[in-house]
Chain A
């Protein structure tokens, strides 16, 4: 049983560029949440998608946007990258919005 898979695993981008990160949820899961984790910090909630709609959004600017596809996979897009966007981006999936969330291995984004 494949768990949550994220791609790519590492990414280096230049300030001002745009990036798209991808997530495939665990088999049987229909809800995807995205988190940003800076070094030495706990994950910070970006947003959650359920039934292809954004259900809740954390305290992140509009430069962060997302999408969920009919097969429940999801994308996170970040525009106009800043140096401060460098972090580990985590995708978590669950069965519905309020059950245990299982995380992928993350995408390490470095903005230079």
Chain B
């Protein structure tokens, strides 16, 4: 059974204070690892897809990296508007396996 664990559950940062969020996963075979941002009461917003160990993707202040067992979302010099819950999900490469398995998310608060 696919499993995703995110840490920490919550993170408070001062504006400009860089940090990283962790996503550990267990799958029989990885088709893709996905990062989403979710604001309260809204649907998740797609950020990145990573497919293989060593891959990196960047978007503004966010950079996602992937190893064989975990992924990191690095946030550089965050701003208050980066406050949200960040969700990590994996898709198994098994035949007929299409679902995304999500972690519980990391709630990020960036204080001005």
Contact = CB atoms under 8 A, between A and B. Distances in A.
A25 B102 CA distance: 21
A103 B43 contact: yes
Interface residues of A, number: 28
B87 A42 contact: yes
A41 B104 contact: yes
B98 A33 contact: yes
Which secondary structure dominates chain B's binding surface?
strand
Interface residues of B, number: 25
A101 B46 CA distance: 7
Which of A33, A42, A55, A106 gathers the greatest number of chain B CB atoms within 10 Å? A42
Contacts of A103: 36, 43-46
| 6 closest A-B pairs by CB | A42-B102, A103-B43, A45-B99, A97-B98, A103-B44, A106-B43
12 contacts: A33-B98, A33-B99, A42-B4, A42-B104, A43-B100, A43-B102, A45-B100, A48-B99, A101-B34, A103-B45, A105-B42, A105-B43
